[in-house]
Chain A
Amino acid sequence: MILDILERSLRERSPLIPVEALLNTCEGSRMPDVYPALLTPEIARRVAEICPTAAFTTREAGDQLELRLSYGECIGCGRCAEVGHGAIVAAQTFPWTGVSKQRLVRRWNVNEKAEITVISPEPEQAREEIYALLGRALNIRQLDPGSCNGCEAEITALTNPFYDLERFGIHFVASPKHADMLLVTGPVTRNMAEAVKLTYEAVPAPKLVVAVGACGCSGGVFAGSHAVVGPVDAVIPVDAYIPGCPPTPAMLVNGILQALQRHHHER
């Protein structure tokens, strides 16, 4: 019987998703993207009004209206796309993962119908570069300081045969003392604050900290709760952010790789 299963596994094509197909996709996350050509002041104001976590905000500057989108706050609820009249849609690609907090924010001039985000250029991701970079193994210690377990479910998926994070030489370890990277989900609760600090201290330097999910980036739905201290960077220093509620496994893979790359270039 077990032989039947093994035989079928051998006969069937491996479900492994090729690296090229993983890069930048965000299907299933409902993260929004903006088509500036279709933006109107009405749409911009309406979207800012209904966004439940204030990821979309507007700002009047003289007679110009600015629309601002912070992915760190976005929970992918899809309400914006319902009132966006095509100007706001679910994103097809998503490079805003594993980046600095600053890079999670995008801005548009609504009157001019143009994106005005100022960004320092970040290197293009290429397959060769990723492989060259990951000459050594990366050990990740996942830490949950108060997540709803949505992010955990998706991080667990990284080890399944579709994503197989081990192919990049990346794997999850049991102790922070064995880790190069802390992958931290969720808002930090008051009850977990001390454990988070102790875990951070237990990771040997040099270490990378990546905040995961809307809660990890900004506190998300739980921002402002009396039982929550804040997002991850309220308690320990964070190097890179992976937004999403929860981020899909593809966004997590991209984020982890991108965080590594940034670190590599900065050193």
Chain B
Amino acid sequence: MKDNGNPEDLEPQQGSGDAVFSVPLAHSGAPARLVTLFGSLTQSRQVVVRYVFDLGDPDYRIIERRIDGPLASITPLMPAATWYERELHDQYGVNLTGHPDLRPLLFHENWSEEIHPMLKTPSEIPWVERDYPFLKVQGQGVCEVAVGPVHAGIIEPGHFRFSVMGDLVLHLELRHFYTHKGTEKLFEGSTADSGVIIAESVSGDNCFAHAVAYCQAVENAGAVSAPLRAAAIRLIGLELERLIAHIGDVGFLANDVGFVVAHALASSIKESLLRASARCFGTRYWRGVACPGGVRIDLDAKQGAMLSEAVARAAREFATLAHVILETPSVQSRFETAGVLYENFAEDLAVVGPVARASGVDLDVRRDHPYGRYRDLQLEVPTIHYGDVLARARIRIQEAAVSARLICETLGALPPGPTRLAVPFDGQRQGHSAVESPRGELFYWVEIEDGRLRRCHVKSPSFQNWPAMPLAVAGNIIADFPLINKSFNLSYSGCDR
């Protein structure tokens, strides 16, 4: 076996017209999992592309390539790279050869084609009208159903184009990035300290995971680690966020099959946790808590006991409720076999988080790339191989129980000491970090120069998982789409950034 750490492996082989890559292999011998790929600029404004792989080591493998002229696409070898390369094409104007689909991804029909914001800051973006060709499914009896961007309900915007025959979905094409806010560009020039505010606004319901991932990346750049007590408080926040998200998701799944009592109870349990959080920390979603070097809050024994009691009670009530939901025959008949995501699809698209674990892919950043307090924990990671809506519901129910236990254990043994330390920001530094957010692997990469961000890349689990969702919908009836989509529960803003 070759030494896979060698960057030359990624060089196009000489002499072939279509550039061919040898993809690095993981220790298992299988192709390494692609975590993300993104561009940045050197001081002389040359584009550098970084490929981040998971070889099975605790740390990630980052491979850098400087770009002069066209770049060979790795999408034909690794379908998981497809959206990343389209984003690179949009943001940096990199000419990718061999990519099967280079339609604009981030910028819709009203953006002119010459705009590449990360390459050159646009002073003005003219409003134009372009075409966006959707894939056409043709044949007798095939109809198109267009849904969105404005959906019926309190949901984020996105466009779904179904090709159906009767009720049967033959193909679903996504058109997202309606909520693209140029977030990665906004990080540029921000101070390392206030960058956390932008990170918190990438995906509001997972704001604490984003904040911690950002802060850990900055700390990694500064070669420091948050103090023990801060790391413990971060763990509590991260697990509370997961617990709240999973309880809410399971409730909404019940709602989508008409089991509204279960939904009302789940939303009550979720609200009780948000209110306990507000009472203890003054914030419902833990905004403004994490900061580079630690956390901005501390909690005393009384607050700890109050939170611990609220979490234990919520976990108990949710376990009872979840049991009822899973044992209800009408729920079973809708959840079972709906929206199957096959393991090989999940692996090919490098799917992460509960969705991956429900399709038999054994991945969890907390165990595989441990950070903070997770370094000292033995974490069991449940997996299910059915890949249907039921599997995704069951994974969340099992993980919620683990999260509640972790919170109570950590609250019971909070290490003493400071909650914050200074992070050195002098000179030019790079750092990265990953966090297991409620939706899966969240990866941040930062480059800091004299205390200011030169670049901050966000790999969100939703960006990774969205392309897999249509594969789970094809072959189902269109009426099951809301349920299948909910079982993935991906963030639009987190994806679109």
Contact = CB atoms under 8 A, between A and B. Distances in A.
Say if A and B assemble together.
Answer: yes
Interface residues of B, number: 64
A150 B201 contact: yes
B288 interface: yes
B179 A162 contact: no
20 contacts: A2-B261, A28-B274, A28-B283, A52-B194, A52-B197, A77-B197, A78-B282, A79-B288, A82-B296, A142-B154, A144-B154, A144-B155, A149-B204, A150-B204, A152-B156, A190-B110, A190-B111, A225-B182, A226-B182, A226-B185
Contacts of A77: 197, 287-288
B247 to A, nearest CB: 12
Contacts of B153: 142, 172, 174
A161 B108 contact: no
B271 A162 contact: yes
B179 A186 contact: yes
Given A192-B149, A228-B182, A150 B324 contact: no
Contact of A1 (B201, B261, B283, B323): B323
B491 interface: yes
Given A145-B157, A161-B267, A76 B202 contact: no
B7 interface: no
A90 interface: yes
Interface in A187-208: 187, 189-195, 199
A227 B182 contact: yes
Nearest to A157: B271
A221 to B, nearest CB: 5
Given A28-B284, A76-B288, A246-B204, A5 B149 contact: no
Contact of A30 (B110, B268, B274, B288): B288
B244 to A, nearest CB: 9
A194 B110 contact: yes
Interface of B: 107-108, 110-111, 117, 121-122, 125, 149-150, 152-157, 177-183, 185-186, 194, 197-198, 201-205, 207, 261, 264-265, 267-268, 270-272, 274-275, 277-279, 282-285, 287-288, 296, 320-321, 323-324, 327-328, 491-494
Range of interface residues on A (Cβ < 8 Å): 35 or more
A116 interface: no
A217 interface: no
A148 B182 contact: no
- Of A78, A90, A151, A175, which is in contact with the most chain B CB atoms at under 10 Å from its CB? A78
A155 B296 CA distance: 27
Given A78-B296, A145-B157, 13 more contacts: A2-B328, A5-B324, A144-B157, A148-B201, A152-B154, A162-B275, A192-B157, A194-B110, A221-B197, A225-B185, A226-B121, A227-B117, A245-B201
A5 B268 CA distance: 13
Contacts of A28: 274-275, 277-278, 282-284
A1 B324 contact: yes
Given A27-B278, A149-B492, A160-B271, A221 B201 contact: yes
Contacts of B205: 149-150, 152-153
A154 to B, nearest CB: 8
A156 interface: yes
A108 interface: no
The residue among A155, A221, A248 with the most chain B CB atoms within 10 A of its own CB is A221
A226 B185 CA distance: 9
Interface string A74-115: 011111001000000010000000000000000000000000
B201 A222 contact: yes
Contacts of B323: 1
Interface in A212-253: 215, 220-222, 225-228, 245-246, 248
Given A142-B154, A175-B152, A191-B180, A222 B186 contact: yes
B150 A78 contact: no
A150 B282 contact: no
B204 A75 contact: no
A222 to B, nearest CB: 5
Contacts of A193: 110
A195 B110 CA distance: 12
A187 B150 contact: no
Nearest to A248: B284
A120 interface: no
Interface in A26-79: 27-28, 30, 52-53, 75-79
A260 interface: no
A68 B125 CA distance: 34
Nearest to A158: B154
A117 B182 CA distance: 36
Given A1-B327, A28-B274, A226-B117, A144 B179 contact: yes
A27 B182 CA distance: 31
B189 to A, nearest CB: 11
A147 B185 contact: no
Contacts of B125: 190, 226
A149 B491 CA distance: 8
A209 interface: no
A143 interface: yes
A147 B267 contact: no
Contacts of A132: none
A161 B278 contact: no
B156 A147 contact: yes
A-B interface, 9 closest residue pairs, ranked by CB to CB distance from nearest: A150-B204, A28-B278, A174-B152, A227-B182, A160-B267, A148-B204, A28-B284, A225-B182, A77-B288
